[in-house]
Amino acid sequence: MMDRMDFEVQARPGPVWITPAQTAVIVVDMQNDFGSPGDMFDRAGIDISGIRAAVPPTARVLTAARVAGIPVIYLQMQHRGDLSDMGGPDAPHRQRHALLRVGETVTAPDGSPTRILIEGQWGTRIIDDLAPEPSDILVPKHRFSGFFETPLHTILQGLGARHLVFTGCTTSICVESTIRDAMFRDYACILLEDCTAEPIGAGNVRSNHEASLLTIQVLFGWVSHSQDFLKALAD
């Protein structure tokens, strides 16, 4: 681990200066249910190729961040076994997730039984290629935003973090929801565009992923690329 002074990251709408000692990397929901073949998204017929493509650049960012002494925080979307944290029968969150069979017992790709999007199960484990290190922090969540009824804000305050570098999935849902809440709490957010993906609207002339990037760079933070972030750390 090395101690670094401020560094400049090329981004849109303009370069942003960040201080490693006041920075954290946030990995949003890069777990089997969303990004592994044979699990929740894949079972539902949702194209996970974009999420899979985001894994290698994300892995490089996490390695560099750890070397630079920047904390890595993983968000994990999951629910209690009794589904008591999904809201009542009429809650939109519960209704939408029923389409994805949340809570059902299925066979995981490794042949073991697992329950969809339930804590402690195969599907809510972080993708193997992005497996957390012992020094990393894991924060479970049960809604799209990583700040909703979680200790994330308290953890970031304890770290003295002011700058948040975002990776993960999906761009327009959990990533954007968390960035919005972070901005409301006065964090400066940088989203690495090649380290995230959005299946919804991917076939549109202008994808939901692209729309979220524009929204973020105009009003909620900055948009950069993993190569620019890595270059800034290396310079």
Q: The domain that contains 196 carries what CATH number?
A: 3.40.50.850
Exactly one of 169, 174, 189, 195 is catalytic; name it. 174
Give the pTM. Answer: 0.96
The yes-or-no answer on residue 174 being catalytic is yes
What six digits make up the tokens of 170? 């999906």
Q: Tell me whether residue 104 is in a domain.
A: no
* pLDDT one digit per residue (tens) for the chain, 235 residues: 445 678 999 999 999 999 999 999 999 999 999 999 999 999 999 999 999 999 999 999 999 999 999 999 999 999 999 999 999 999 999 999 999 999 999 999 889 999 999 999 999 999 999 999 999 999 999 999 999 999 999 999 999 999 999 999 999 999 999 999 999 999 999 999 999 999 999 999 999 999 999 999 999 999 999 999 999 999 8
Q: Tell me whether residue 96 is in a domain.
A: no
Domain limits for position 54? 7-80+126-234
Of the candidates 19, 13, 62, 3, the one whose C-alpha atom is nearest the C-alpha of residue 187 is 19
pLDDT value, residue 1: 46
Q: Tell me whether residue 21 is in a domain.
A: yes
Exactly one of 141, 169, 189, 228 is catalytic; name it. 141
3-state secondary structure of 86: coil
Of the candidates 72, 75, 2, 65, the one whose C-alpha atom is nearest the C-alpha of residue 34 is 75
Q: Tell me whether residue 12 is in a domain.
A: yes
Q: Tell me whether residue 111 is in a domain.
A: no
| Residue 136 CB-half CA count within 13 A | 20
Q: Tell me whether residue 91 is in a domain.
A: no
Domain count, the chain: 1
The yes-or-no answer on residue 195 being catalytic is no
DSSP sequence for 133-156? PTT-EEEEESSSSTTTTSSHHHHH
